[in-house]
Amino acid sequence: MTEEAAAQARGKTVYLHIGTPKSGTTYLQGALKRNKERLAARGVLWPGRNWGDQVFAVRDLANMHPHNHRPADVAGAWQRLVDEIHAWQGHSAIVSMEWLVGAKPQQIRRAVETLAPAEVSVVLTGRDLARTIPADWQEAMQNWDTYSWDEYLAALVDPELADAPPARRLWRQQDLGAILSRWNEVVPAARTHVITVPPPGTHPHVLWQRFAAVLGIDPDDYDTAAKGGNTSLGVVSAELMRNINVRAREAGLSWKANEKLLKHVLAKQVLTKRSGLEPALALPAEHYPWTIEHGKRIVSDVENAGVRVWGDLDELIPDPAHAREGTTPDAISDRDLLDAALDGIVGLVGDVNGKLAAQQPGRGAARAQPAGAEQALQKLPTRDLVKRFLVELASRVGWLGTLHRGWRALRRRNQPTDR
């Protein structure tokens, strides 16, 4: 670092919002993105061209390559972000990426050392386990996992299954005491902040107010209306994704090759639109005592850590009175799965057909209005739509055959039999 850059960095604060996942992080990141220019005018940097630059930077810092996927832009991304922060002439910068919650001590030290002489403050958002656990399972189903809801819960509550992947991931990402212990080895507790997520029914702006208080900015001076967000799947769509993952793995398909269609199109764009039509995934009542016990332990660990708390630590203890109405996968029918599968196929038809049309010469109108192709296709009879789609795309998108076979199997099971 040059002497000039060091002078600019000295006295600057870098806030590392490290998570946890499913604790309002998408909402906060959306607010920071929308207010990038307004924050900059007040001396606060939201670095990177977009949030994806922060994702790549954290992947580079933590050497994280999900499913061994290593985009070229990841290499050197952390240092590029650091250089931008050092060059910033304002008083602070914010990096928000929930994968930092699992950073190892050597990665934490590298982050703090490379950001020096700027001062690092850590921001940790946390939500009660009764709401986090269902959200964690359905998110895992969007990311190639195949264990059932019952298997997932068993792995959490059975001490003999503590080393199972679901339990390891949940506690690595949600055990606030253990997370604080790792980070406070490098960043003092005096510069560490825990923000609790308010109870269900609270306006999202309350979470932003707490976050803004940590940053020292006026919360009412920014556009914080909830837009988009990381919508959870309904229980039917989550179970459908689990079944697709099982079939896709059996067929030898890879996550790297199909992540965009499976996660970002089928799950995020298509099936999330059904969330208002499907029951939510509910934590069974018999598991509340277990979540309350661990919630109290987490509260005690945070209190003993000596960090500053914004909100109320009791909000980390599940309240049965706030239990969310919903259901579990074992209560849904094959007909429910069939309906979700058909909606998924129809949605994929519109997305993939629009992309194929845009690639054909002389199809400028299709390129300009891909949504029009989707609307036209949705007017066709479902059976003709499915057949046309599968015939056209079977050679291009192999895993769709897996989805189609599952659809046909469910259809046969739901056909009446002659008696």
Listed in sequence order, the DSSP H helices in 2-104 are 3-9, 25-34, 36-41, 51-62, 77-87
User: Same domain for 210 and 268?
Assistant: no
The residue ranking higher by pLDDT, 215 or 258, is: 215
User: Same domain for 249 and 125?
Assistant: no
**Is the predicted pLDDT of residue 140 greater than 80, yes or no?**
yes
Closest alpha carbon to 267 in 285, 295, 248: 248
Residue 147 is assigned to a structural domain of this protein: no
What are φ and ψ of residue 123, in 5° steps? -120, 125
With a CB cutoff of 8 Å and minimum separation 6, the contacts of 395 are none
How much is the pLDDT for 402? 57
User: Same domain for 192 and 223?
Assistant: yes
Q: Which two tokens stand for residue 314?
A: 């009791």
**Domain end residue (candidates: 266, 297, 322):** 322
Residue 196 is assigned to a structural domain of this protein: yes
What whole-number distance in Å separates Cα of residue 166 and Cα of residue 146?
A: 11
The residue ranking higher by pLDDT, 387 or 5, is: 5
**Is the predicted pLDDT of residue 230 greater than 50, yes or no?**
yes
**Is the predicted pLDDT of residue 286 greater than 50, yes or no?**
yes
User: Same domain for 114 and 179?
Assistant: yes
What are φ and ψ of residue 319, in 5° steps? -115, 115
The helix/strand/coil state of 124 is strand
**Is the predicted pLDDT of residue 406 greater than 70, yes or no?**
no
Is the preceding peptide bond at 320 cis, omega within 30 degrees of 0? no
User: Same domain for 343 and 408?
Assistant: yes
User: Same domain for 359 and 253?
Assistant: yes
User: Same domain for 292 and 397?
Assistant: no
How much is the pLDDT for 363? 52
With a CB cutoff of 8 Å and minimum separation 6, the contacts of 331 are none
Expressed as residue numbers, the domain containing 301 is 3-130+171-231+283-322
Q: How many domains does the chain have?
A: 2
**Is the predicted pLDDT of residue 228 greater than 80, yes or no?**
no
Mean pLDDT of the chain: 86
Per the CB < 8 A criterion, the answer to whether 94 and 45 are in contact is yes
Residue 274 is assigned to a structural domain of this protein: yes
User: Same domain for 246 and 375?
Assistant: yes
Is the preceding peptide bond at 20 cis, omega within 30 degrees of 0? yes
User: Same domain for 355 and 211?
Assistant: no
pLDDT band with cut points at 50, 70 and 90 for residue 70: low
How much is the pLDDT for 173? 96
The residue ranking higher by pLDDT, 407 or 57, is: 57
| pLDDT tens readout for residues 319-352 | 988 777 788 999 999 999 999 999 999 988 888 7
Mean pLDDT of 80-86: 97
CATH, residue 10: 3.40.50
User: Same domain for 18 and 45?
Assistant: yes
User: Same domain for 383 and 255?
Assistant: yes
How much is the pLDDT for 53? 96
Residue 158 is assigned to a structural domain of this protein: no
Q: Which two tokens stand for residue 64?
A: 């994280």
| pLDDT tens readout for residues 211-227 | 999 999 999 999 998 77
Residue 404 is assigned to a structural domain of this protein: yes
Burial zone of 285 (CB within 10 Å; 0-12 exposed, 13-18 middle, 19+ buried)? exposed
Q: Residues in the chain, how many?
A: 419
pLDDT band with cut points at 50, 70 and 90 for residue 375: very low
How much is the pLDDT for 236? 96
For the chain, percent of residues with pLDDT exceeding 90: 68
Residue 350 is assigned to a structural domain of this protein: yes
Closest alpha carbon to 230 in 98, 56, 337, 410: 98
Q: Give me Rg for the CA atoms of the chain.
A: 23
Residue 357 is assigned to a structural domain of this protein: yes
Q: Is the dihedral of CA 287, 177, 30, 169 positive or negative?
A: negative
**Is the predicted pLDDT of residue 10 greater than 90, yes or no?**
no
Residue 111 is assigned to a structural domain of this protein: yes
Closest alpha carbon to 286 in 170, 130, 52: 130
Query: How large is the greatest C-alpha to C-alpha distance in the chain, in angstroms?
Result: 88
How much is the pLDDT for 408? 61
How much is the pLDDT for 410? 56
Rounded to two decimals, the pTM is 0.83
Per the CB < 8 A criterion, the answer to whether 15 and 95 are in contact is yes
User: Same domain for 222 and 348?
Assistant: no
